[in-house]
Amino acid sequence: MATLELYTKGAGVWIPDPDAVWVSAQLLQDYSPGENHLLLQLSNGKEVHYPLDSPSDLPPLGNPDILEGENDLTALSFLHEPAVLHNLRVRFLDYSSIYTYCGIVLVAINPYDQLPIYGEEVIDAYSGQDMADMEPHIFSVAEEAYRTMTRSEKNQSIIISGESGSGKTVSAKFTMRYFAVVGGAAQQTSVEERVLSSNPIMESIGNAKTIRNDNSSRFGKYIEIGFGRKGDIIGANMRTYLLEKSRVVFQASAERNYHIFYQLCASRELPEMRSLKLDAPENFRYTNQGGEMQIPGTDDLSDLERTRSAFTILGVQPDQQMELFRILSAILHLGNVNIQASGRSSERSYIDADDHSLAVFSKLLGVEGPQMAHWLCHRRLAVGGEMLAKPMSGRQAVEARDALAKHIYGQLFTWTVQRLNSALRAQRGHVKSFIGVLDIYGFETFDQNSFEQFCINYANEKLQQQFNRHVFHLEQEEYVREELAWSRIEFSDNQQCINLIEGQLGLFDLLDEECRMPKGSDESWVQKLYDQHLTSKPHPHFQKPRMSNSAFIVLHFADVVKYECDGFLDKNRDTVFEELVNILKASQVDMSYISKLITLISTATREHKLTVGFQFRQSLQMLMDTLNSTTPHYVRCIKPNDFKEPFVFDPKRTVQQLRACGVLETIRISAAGYPSRWTYEEFFSRYRILLRGLRSPEQVQSLCKQNLPQLIPDPDQYCFGKTKVFFRAGQVALLERLRAERLHVAALIIQSRVRGWLARIRYARILWAMVTIQRYCRGALARRLALTLRYTKAALVIQKTYRMVVVRQLFLVIRQATITIQAFTRGTLARQRHRLLVAERAAVLLQARVRGWLAREAYRRVRAAVVLMQCCVRRRAAKRELMKLKTEARSVERYRELNKGMEVKLMQLQLRADQQVDIRVDSAVSLPPGLPASVIFLCVRQADCSGDQTRARSLCSAAVTAMKAALKVTSGFEPARCTICLTYNAKGQFTSHQVGYELVPLTADISDLIRALSDLCIQAYQQLLSITETHLQNIIVPALLEAETIPGLCGSAVKLGTSRKRAGSDPRTVGGDAPTMASVLRELGALHTALSHQALPPTLIEQAFHQLTYLISASALNSLLLRKDMCSWSRGMQIRYNVSILEEWLRSRSLQAGGAVATLEPLIQAVQLLQAGKKTEADARALVQTCTALSSQQIVKILTLYTPHSDLDERVTLNFIRSVQGLLKQRSDGHPPQILMDVRRVFPVTFPYLPPTVVHAEQLVIPDSLKISFLRKA
């Protein structure tokens, strides 16, 4: 089926619009070949006639609704400019998503707002994840580069480009911050800190406020971040390109000079700055030309403090910093030097001898003021072998002064970069590989374009060529990997434009030649361009303006740019007079910074014979060689509007930048081949209703190959690969239409079947009603006859019964009278006999009581006498024993005999501690939980009882040291759990100061020991949790989110464009079985068993699992918030079932009381949000009332990412999302503004005090392996 047949009634198209660039419309009737117009209905309901001259004038088709908001532009069925623009607008305005993939390119739109998507919790969420699984983010690109580098050991590059104000610098800073976090420790080391500290320094000396951007980088930079074998940052190196030195002496209206000048002026009142003689920036010519002294929302004084702190971190001492500030201040004073015309002659100029600014400049740099004044107004000429001083006009003198200021600042900038590189150089080892971050100007075109724009656009031409070739190479690799028989795709190569600029007799070549001419001028140079590229050899990328002879036009890949030749030669020469440099060399100030800078200026002056253009071409070629030797990753930054307003989208400006940064070229290359790529399983799952034959999952590939030719007759529109089926642009939309038609036919069949079923049901009900009425009538007649027969039979029964009752009553009366007479007679006889028995029993009882009383009285008198005799004998024996004990207590010799053996044993114990003969971990595990702590306490107790408090404290210190060493040397699971048990029990023993009730408290001061044991408890607890968290970290997301515990539930939930790997991403080898909930429970069970075996208190175990379940909940929720493929109804069912398994496990071990189950509440509510209704206002209120554990940002994010499960499900409408947002604003939930949860949050732990079990020394069962049997004798 041809693409023309897609232009049917109801199809969406895009038509040009002067304001919105493109607007959507809908076809009101089918298109037939030969028609000269289309009848369209715009989105506002207006009907228009769209003229057509030929089928090639047909407007671009719209993509299916299911692809709206797709996070990868190359996944769109129709790849063209309006589709790209619309998709970016929907993601930016409706979903507040500033990042979108475009194949291997990340498109970043500047939101002009602070978004909570760059915290450490976001870095943790992206670390170690696959780029294709996560939502687009700058961290995703950084992670892809880092993971590829560590896996393949190949250098990487991240190329960030865009126009001023598009967010290049911010993206580069976040990229470097990501590497500092994942390539360092939890706390930044000195290397990572130095790498990040280079940013504020470079921003101060290289950034300035422009009309488009308050913090615009006025130079390009390429930072190579070096990594070691373990993937940690060990150094960095920076290269800079094309500093805008002209800004030092001139700023346009509403712009500023470099930030460092305003920071110095704002700090002029500081004591150390008063010697620089600074003033307000309004009083310096080099800072007041733009009229903008302040930037809203910034504090120049605080920024200087931040810059100075960064210098200090990088090893630049405060005195060296003051030297740098002295030179910068001298530049400001140089700009205020007043150059005046000499009398009536305009060819001479002079500077007053008492010029204050010149005096301050000379004093700051230690140069001769009169010489500087003379050579600022004169230049030296060689005439006939003699050197003459030629006066300069006022204009020429001002240009010489400005050239000196620019040159000093340029070399100061270069020296600072070199100083930073020396501080960032790798010091911890050899750099194994690096990741380069390139932050460079994007394509520029203004009303007046000069030499700077020419160099910038030339650099972008080179970068675009490298980008085109890399993208095309990836496309070829994909086709070869899939074993496709394909013809070579043609793509536009800008080599001709590059040859025009850098080739032989090109623009740069002719410019350098003209610069070497003594009387070369801009006019003669541009005339040579006309002669060479218009007359002699016309070049397709070179044109001449119609109404100008001082300009030329270059047809760049992005746009047609007109360059004014005025100033090209001067900027290319960048001349500074040697006499002025010699004066600086004679500086009398003894400062290392100035001396090194003077040396650098002198060297640069000697090398100044090389033009700026030639040097730039050399550095750019080095950059291209570096980029070509690495694996590149691309970030294209887009500025959505020129007014810096948050979340305002200007389609005109956006389209200009999409064309300029090569995004549309990427789309064009993709559209030239097979942009839509589906695995056979995805294709089968989505379009199985269109396939005929057996639908066995084992025959998916053959089934697709068998049926696809019937669906798309043109074989050139698709191609079968090894694992995927490839489609040309528009074919997915065609399949979607066929699928919709098949569903429509199926719906009609279902409707007819349902209507027939309803008619049959109605007939059956009528038939049933007729039969029921007949049955009821017949039943009523039968019941009437049966009732008559029943009445007749009842009359006969009544008669018989009455006669029987009369006779029976007479019989009962006679029998009752007889029984009454017999009972009276027998009762009288029984009562007489009872009275006789009672009297006899009373007499016997009275006799027994009297005899017992007499016997007890006699016994009491005998026992009293015996007890009295025993007391007298025992008192006499006790007095004798007391006298004997008192005598022994006065004897010191007995104590010496008792403690003599103890001292020997203590010495042996100390010797064994010195020799580090400790209990092995495997043997300690088998000991009773409290035995090691009790043994240690008994040893200290015996030393204390012997009066040797020094030895007791020594034993305490040795025990703590041994515990610390064991915890530090061995970082395994068993040592940690044994140490926490030992320290906890030992703390309890020493806190209670007793082993048995009969002992008195210790006399030695052990408060330090108790504090040390408390610290060891916390350290061992944290180490034990850290080990478990490390094991859980890589299995939480696969087990909780990705595992299909309910088979087949998510099989049909395949969305167009989802789960397709992006072009250029390295395939990841998957080995072994994927983690499931059993893996998570296995890790948790191992920890629970270990803690329970050590007899730790239940509250401590509950705290440990409270921490772990928080980690599980936070990690899973963070991944859910960043993965669109997880936000569906079916996936929510899977996740909820997995969470319920975890909840059941926690309850089975009675861990719910410690809050372990409660920490899962945010994840549970997020899953409920996926499963709940999302249509009406009532649904919105229910969601807001239910999801109390989720923040407002998290709720909106999940609703934005929600993906329909199937055709029966619907996308969440924007009106519903806005309704929820309105209700959330009324809710004061107190949640932090971050979208992601902080996975590094650590809950405070409390070790409850439980009195230790009373252990008597003689009751301890001490193993012989400990060799401390002497404790049994104590």
Binding-site residues: 162-169
List of long-range contacts for 91-98, beta carbons under 8 Å, 24+ apart: 92/640, 92/647, 92/649, 93/647, 93/649, 94/69, 94/1200, 94/1214, 95/69, 95/1200, 96/647, 96/1196, 96/1200, 97/71, 97/135, 97/136, 97/1200
**Marked catalytic residue, from 148, 216, 240, 605:** 216
Angstrom distance (rounded) from CA 1030 to CA 606:
58
Residues 146 and 114 sit within 8 Å (Cβ to Cβ): no
Q: Is 755 exposed, middle or buried (0-12, 13-18, 19+ CB in 10 A)?
A: exposed
Catalytic residue flag (residue 442): yes
DSSP structural state of residue 448: S
275 classed as catalytic? no
Instruction: Write the DSSP symbol of residue 972.
Output: S
- The owner of tokens 């693409």 is 3
Cβ atoms of 1171 and 1129 within 8 Å: the answer is yes
Contact partners, residue 9, CB within 8 Å, separation at least 6: 27, 28, 29, 30
Catalytic-labelled residue, pool 63, 150, 164, 468: 164
Which residues make up each annotated binding site for ATP? 162-169
CB count in 10 Å sphere of residue 205: 23
CA-CA distance, 442 to 459, in Å (whole number)? 9
**Active site includes 217?**
yes
Indicate the Cα dihedral angle 627, 629, 630, 633, nearest 10°. 40
Cα of 1107 vs its chain's centroid, Å: 20
- Indicate if 213 belongs to the active site: yes
Counts for the chain of helices (H) and strands (E), in that order: 39, 23
Q: Are 178 and 142 a contacting pair, CB within 8 Å?
A: yes
CA–CA distance, 1044 with 12 (Å, rounded to integer): 37
Distance CA 300, CA 264 (A): 8
Q: Is 444 a catalytic residue?
A: yes
Catalytic choice (165, 184, 206, 1064): 165
Packing angle between helix 893-914 and helix 949-969, nearest 10 degrees?
20
CB 175 within 8 A of CB 138: yes
Measured CA to CA, the distance from residue 399 to residue 569 in angstroms comes to 14
Q: Is 756 a catalytic residue?
A: no
Question: Between the CA of residue 43 and those of 26, 356, 652, 830, 1105, what are the distances in Å?
Answer: 8, 69, 19, 116, 55
Name the nearest CA neighbour of 224 among 431, 373, 385, 386: 431
> Active-site residue among 192, 244, 444, 736?
444
The region, left, alpha or beta by phi > 0 then psi within -120 to 50, assigned to residue 574 is left
Place of tokens 């395994």: 972
**CA dihedral (485, 489, 495, 496) positive or negative:** positive
Strand order from edge to edge, sheet including 724-727 = 676-679, 724-727, 718-720
Whether the Cβ atoms of residue 531 and residue 486 lie closer than 8 Å to each other: no
Q: Does the annotation mark 47 as catalytic? A: no
Give the integer Cα–Cα distance in Å for 1124 and 1126: 5
Task: Please report which residue ranges of 366-393 form alpha helices under DSSP H.
Answer: 369-376
107 within 8 A of 663, measured Cβ to Cβ: yes
How far apart CA 314 and CA 197 sit, in angstroms, is: 7
Catalytic: which of 63, 110, 140, 169?
169
Concerning whether 165 is annotated as a catalytic residue, the answer is yes
Catalytic residue among 335, 410, 442, 662: 442
User: How much of the chain is in helix, strand and coil states, percent to nearest 5?
Assistant: 60, 10, 30
CB-based contacts of 623: which residues, under 8 Å, 6+ apart? Answer: 222, 239, 241, 438
CA gyration radius, the chain: 47
Q: Which of 157, 207, 213, 934 is catalytic?
A: 213
347's CB contacts (< 8 A; 6+ apart) are: 391, 392, 393
Catalytic residue set:
164-165, 169, 213, 216-217, 442, 444
